[in-house]
Amino acid sequence: QQQVKQSPQSLIVQKGGISIINCAYENTAFDYFPWYQQFPGKGPALLIAIRPDVSEKKEGRFTISFNKSAKQFSLHIMDSQPGDSATYFCAASEASGTYKYIFGTGTRLKVLA
Amino acid sequence: DSGVTQTPKHLITATGQRVTLRCSPRSGDLSVYWYQQSLDQGLQFLIQYYNGEERAKGNILERFSAQQFPDLHSELNLSSLELGDSALYFCASSVGAGGTEQYFGPGTRLTVT
């Protein structure tokens, strides 16, 4: 019940295309859902995050869509660029006094020039 | 640059040995989180400290321990090392105990031979 399932494992997109990564969870106590971007040899960097009281959040080319009833959320990268090529992790945490993240397994995105 | 620093960057040691990883949080952050990233287990939460006190525990082995000092830096001690402990170890920091926005350091790559 603590798992966060992420798909696909890898994704290849043409430059200018839309990249879509999906995550699903079971624990209804989760109330914070961040996405992290990780380049090889670097630490994960916070990209965008959402709480379940909104269905969508947009920051630049990055959008999170959240479906509370389905317990799913997704990251959309619009106008994907080669510089977006990285591994993306979704995560979830619950308001239990601590915000330890449960991470998805990661999606390796490659954007072709 | 997240503002979180970790040393050393790389560490190579033999089985059975003990190592200490160090983390300095962002200025003003009181919480430090430790995560382990390995190919087979992904990103796993180990332990959280808030203002010097242990706040939450995750999948941390008994051979591992951590502490947070009065200046808020944290150390992760790994003892009786096994080959399977080879991984990237990240620390993250956040402002409060319920740190929704966690900022990750660049990591320490531990190789146990």
Residues A88, B113, B109, A103: is their CA dihedral positive or negative?
positive
User: What separation in angstroms does the CA of A50 have from each of A4, A91, A101, B23, B33?
Assistant: 15, 11, 14, 27, 20
Q: Which of residues 50-109 of A touch B (CB under 8 A)?
A: 89, 93, 95, 97-106
Considering CB atoms only, which of A42, A44, A101 is closest to B45?
A: A101
Yes or no, beta carbons of B2 and A45 under 8 Å apart: yes
Q: pLDDT by residue (tens digit) across A37-88?
A: 999 989 999 999 999 899 999 999 999 999 999 999 999 999 999 999 999 9
> What phi and psi, each to the nearest 5 degrees, are found at residue B83?
-55, -35
Interface probe, candidates B7, B24, B45, B109, chain A, greatest A C-beta count within 10 A: B45
**Percent share of chain A, pLDDT over 70:** 95
From CA B105, how far away is CA B113, in angstroms rounded?
25
- H helices, E strands: number in chain A: 0, 11
Q: Cβ of A49 under 8 Å from any chain B Cβ?
A: yes
From CA A36, how far away is CA A91, in angstroms rounded?
8
pLDDT at residue A95 is higher than 70: no
Scanning B1-113, the segments in alpha helix (DSSP H) are none
Q: pLDDT by residue (tens digit) across B38-61?
A: 987 789 999 999 999 999 898 899
Provide the pLDDT for residue A10: 97
Length of chain B equals 113
**Which DSSP category does A55 fall into?**
S
From CA A16, how far away is CA A88, in angstroms rounded?
18
Interface probe, candidates B60, B93, B100, chain A, greatest A C-beta count within 10 A: B100
**C-alpha count within 13 angstroms, C-beta hemisphere, residue B21:** 31
Yes or no, beta carbons of B102 and A95 under 8 Å apart: no
